[in-house]
Every structure is written in C-alpha cells, then in structure tokens.
Structure 1
C-alpha cells in the first residue's frame, strides 16, 4: 500500500495496492479511509491537496459532526454525509450493531457507493469517528465489489486495531474489532441478497454505477 503521511488524522490508510482475485490491483491514492478529520495538520491538508482529493464521505451522525467538525480548511472537496443509524436498543452485541446497520441503513451505504461512482469523484476519502466500524463495513463492501477476496478484506479491516492501539490520538479506542465482525457481516449480506452487489442494487445502486466504481478504482 502507498504510504499515507497523515499525522493529525488517525487510522489513515490507502486501499490501493490490494489485489483482486482475478489479479487486478486497486490503484493507489484513489480511495483513502480514516478516522475523523477534526485535527489535521497543515502538512496533512497540503498532502491531501497534493493528491487532488475531490470527495469526502462522512458516515457520522449529526451529533458527532457537531462535536468534531471536519477541519479541511479551503480544500475544494465535495462533502457527502450519509449516516448509518445508531438507534439500537443498547443491549445487543457489537455484531448486532453491524447487522442493524446492514438491515436498516442500506440506503446510506448505497448513497456512499453512488457518490464514489460519480464522474470526477475520485480520489476520495471515507471516514466515521474512529474509522474502523462504519468505515470498515463500507470499505469491505467496496472491496468485495472490486473482486478483492475475503482474506484481504479482513486483513485491511483489522489494521484499525493496530493503528488505534498504538497511535489513537484523540480517538477513544474502546471496542477492538475482530475477524468475525466483518466476515459475519459479509455472510449476512450474501445470505439475504446473494452478494454485496445484490445488496447495493436492492438499495438503489445501478449496474452502471458499480461498473463506474470498478473502473475508477481499478482502471489505469
């Protein structure tokens, strides 16, 4: 993967360099994933400008945005806020929360994918608060659409544990993630919809948009 030299933005990485099961490679610096963007340094902003960042997908709820607003200065990016629900009973497991997102927030994930597939949307950055759960689910679905295998999807997902345990910054790291969370989420989607593509198309993503996203992230 390409180095992402961001110091004020935690849990940051590029999905570029991952290889699909057919042998294609995700192009570098087309899609970044991070934690919240409330404390970027001037160097962070300069680097994001240097790669031509065009779109920021924010998966947070309004109360999170109010508490930790993005601070990208005058970077000319399109900001897209699509928030999976956090309205749970509070007595379930963390995996139950993932399933709640998948079952009740398909429109939010679909809107994020549609935004990434728009002409001129890339390079893009997707984030939530810690950049591990909601971001992890969305990125896992994008990687599946590209044809990246589950082993590589899980490996990318689990990097958040190392990033946040060794350098959390102002992120409170209370809930380490596990392979079962993301593999179980993908299994849930496949059981109900046949595939991640089936899940997204059921929530309004077109075949043309999926093709555009694949071309944008895999094309030379």
Structure 2
C-alpha cells in the first residue's frame, strides 16, 4: 500500500523480480523514494516497523536541507496552533532510530565542473547575484546555459565523472550488512536516486530492460506533483523534459560506463570501490 506523504516509494528487489518474473534479488533490503521529510506519523511507523528501515542514504544538498528545515519549522508552528492539522510538521525532521548517511551527490566537484562550463561573463554575473542574495536568479543562469543543453543524460554522465568520492561513500555504505534495510532518496527519487540505483542494478547483473523499466516507473509515480515540480524546474531555467524519465536514460549511462571505464565494475574500482566491497554488496542483495 502507498505511504501517506512519501511518494515514489518502492522495494527495488521486489520491483525487479516482478519485472523479470523471477526471484534473483533479495526483497525488503533496499527501497527508493522521494524525500521522506513530510512523512506522517503513520508513514514513520511503517518505515521503522513494517519495512524495518535501519538506515537512510540521503542524497540531497545542504541547501535542500536548509529549505526543508525552514518549511518544517513553519509546519510545526501551524501544528501547534491547529492541533488537527497535518501531523507531519510536528514530528522531528529525522526519524528516531534510523541511521542517516547524508551524502550530497551533486555538490563539490560536480558544481564546480558545471560552473566552469559557463562563459566568463555569465560566471561573473552568477557570482554577483549570489553575493547579493539572489540565489534562484543565479542558479537559473547555470540552468539555462549549462544544465539545459547537457540534458538529463548529460548531467548523469557528469555525475559519474565528477561525483566519485560521493559515489564511493554510497557504495561503501551498501557493502555493510548492518545498514540494511536501506532507503535511498533525493528530492523526487528520480534523477540522483535513479543514477545510484542504475549503478547498483548493473553491478548485480540485472538486464538492461528491467533497469530501464524501474527507472521510467518514477515518472508515473511522480505525476501527482508534476505541476509543482514544473514550477520549480522553470524557476531554475530548465524545460519540461527535466520532469520526465526518458526511456533511454539507463542505456546512455551504461554506455558511458562501458566506453570510458570498461563497465560498471571498472568504474567502481576506479573510484575506490574494490572487488571485495563489490562482492559484499552482491552478497547483501543477491539470492544465494
């Protein structure tokens, strides 16, 4: 059954097994979703009791955390004034009893790599707008001039090439059995989460058709918030295609890994996820 306030939530093992009509992956081990920050009391009980989530891998940025904390504070005041209002705002942001791995997937070197793709005049304007506090106007410059031309697949490839330390931390966490069951999320559970899940499923030897089907499933799961997402997307200078889950995305990511790194195993080894660590992840996720 769907959770009340957490969208795009699904069991990765169960989803892939159903797509393939087999039982090759262990179920109730890794889940994916949009951010659980607005989880209701019942949602939180389901995550800790029904799904027994032991740890959460949070791929959101520091800015996203700050924005969400401000939103939660506003909700808390509303809940105090109106006891019958949404109980999510009255709950702590982090769910007690769950271990958090906060790994900003698209920070640091990724952001710098995008900034250096700007023309000097645009970079100067962006820096000036940020200094004056016009953050969204600054980001929209990056969106229009760099992110939009790169497209979802291009940005996914950039993440692979520049977010190596972050991805190494994620896959190191996936190797520790004590972290399971795990929930992986970003804001929508589509792009950053999708990229991590594609890498994981490639490592587990899942056929490309099943990997692509899991990735594209997010588009329908997120339809309920499409309009609000489009408002956010347009504010940062991007087009409607950034709200989609294109069918060829997983194939392009796999092709990039093959062309530049010799495949997912070569890529993970290159970023510091050695063969022993890769084998531990397989033990955690593959049926004997």
Flag whether TM exceeds 0.5 (same fold): yes
Match of 2:168 in 1: 110
Question: 2:227 matched to 1:159?
Answer: no
State the 1:96 CA deviation. Answer: 2.0
The residue number in structure 1 matching 2:95 is 73
Q: Secondary structure at the match of 1:38?
A: coil
Q: TM-score, normalised by structure 2?
A: 0.69
More deviation, 93-102/153-162: 93-102
- 2:133 aligned residue: none
- Pair member with larger Rg: 2
For the pair 1:214 / 2:282, whether they are aligned, the reply is yes
2:31 is the counterpart of 1:10: no
C-alpha distance after superposition, 1:20-73 (max 9, x if no partner): 99x652111100001112100111111111122111111111101111258343
**Alignment of 1:130 onto 2:152:** no
Q: CA deviation at 1:182?
A: 2.1
Is the Cα–Cα contact under 8 Å of residues 24 and 218 in structure 1 kept in the other structure?
A: no
Shift, 1:219, TM fit? 3.5
Secondary structure, counterpart of 2:222 in structure 1: helix
Judge conservation of contact 1:36–1:68 (CA < 8 Å) in 2: no
Trace 1:1-220 onto structure 2 (pairs within 5 A): 5-17=2-14, 18-19=16-17, 25-50=24-49, 51-69=51-69, 71-74=93-96, 76-85=97-106, 87=111, 88=114, 89=117, 90=142, 91=145, 92-94=149-151, 95-165=153-223, 167-168=224-225, 172-173=229-230, 174=233, 175-219=243-287
- After TM superposition, the structure 1 stretch with the greater mean CA deviation from structure 2, 65-74 or 49-58, is 65-74
CA distance in 2, matches of 1:169, 1:77: 29
Deviations 1:66-95 (A, max 9, x none): 112583431x12211222225224323222
Distance in 2, matches of 1:39 and 1:170, equals 18
* Deviates further, 124-133 or 106-115: 106-115
Answer yes or no: is the 8 Å Cα contact 1:15–1:31 preserved in 2: yes
Q: Structure 1 or 2: larger helix share?
A: 2
Aligned to 2:214, what secondary structure does the other structure show?
Answer: helix
Q: How many residues align?
A: 214
CA deviation profile, 1:89-112 (whole Å, cap 9, x unmatched) = 432322221121111012211211
Normalising to structure 1: TM-score of the pair?
0.89
Q: For structure 1, list consecutive stretches of 5 or more residues without a partner in the other structure.
A: none
| Per-residue CA distance 1:127-166 (angstroms, 9 max, x = gap) | 111110010000011011111111000000001110111x
User: CA 1:82/1:72 → structure 2, altered by over 3 Å: closer, same or farther?
Assistant: closer
Q: Decide whether the 8 Å contact of 2:184 with 2:193 is kept in 1.
A: yes
Cα deviations across residues 179-214 of structure 1 (Å, max 9, x unaligned)?
222211111011111111211111111211111111
